[in-house]
Amino acid sequence: MSACQSCGACCANFRVDFSIYELDTEGGQVPSGLTVEVNGNTCRMRGTDHVPIRCAALTGQLGTRVGCGIYEWRPSPCREFDEGSDACDRARARHGLPPVAGLQVG
Ligand code: SF4
Ligand code: SF4
């Protein structure tokens, strides 16, 4: 099982900005109702610029069991975010979770 399923820290730590052309209304796949406009070219996952940060698409309880409500249609920054990367470890640390590399696999 991926550490992500019991984490969600990155979805509650960073602004998630991407091109408006990823929106379903612009020929892409990301549900536009879960986003806010930043400027003419860029939009953002709703909730990722709030305090505390939490993406509107994140379901479940952070650090216990989570899911992305739009997993198949999530924007490129989410697709490109690497489990076990430095950014992942930073996000986890901010939510009191140990680095992925320190977890027992199995
Ligand atoms: S912070 Fe890392 S382990 Fe947690 S959900 Fe994001 S990619 Fe997965
Ligand atoms: S769209 Fe999904 S993967 Fe991306 S930040 Fe939101 S909950 Fe996380």
Residue written as token pair 């602004």 = 15
The predicted pLDDT at position 102 comes to 78
Which residue is it, tokens 């953002």?
44
Nearest atom in ligand 1 to the alpha carbon of residue 83 is 7
pLDDT at residue 104 in the model: 66
**Is residue 99 in some structural domain?**
no
- Which residue lies with its CA nearest to atom 1 of ligand 2? 74
Is 104 inside a domain boundary? no
> Does the pLDDT at position 84 exceed 90?
yes
Q: Answer yes or no: is pLDDT of 28 > 90.
A: yes
Find the domain containing 28 and state its range.
Answer: 3-94
Say if 100 falls within a structural domain. no
Residue among 61, 69, 62 at smallest CA distance from 13: 62
Confidence tier at 103 by pLDDT (50, 70, 90): confident
In this prediction, residues 21-35 reach a mean pLDDT of 98
Annotate 32-43 with b (16+ C-beta within 10 A) or e (fewer): eebbeeeeeeeb
Give dist(CA 97, CA 59) in Å, integer.
18
* Residue 103 maps to a domain: no
Count of domains observed in the chain = 1
C-alpha–C-alpha distance, residues 66 and 8, integer Å: 6
Pocket test residue of 1, 2, 4, 54 for ligand 1, highest count of atoms within 8 A of CB: 4
What's the average model confidence in pLDDT over 42-67? 97
pLDDT value, residue 105 = 57
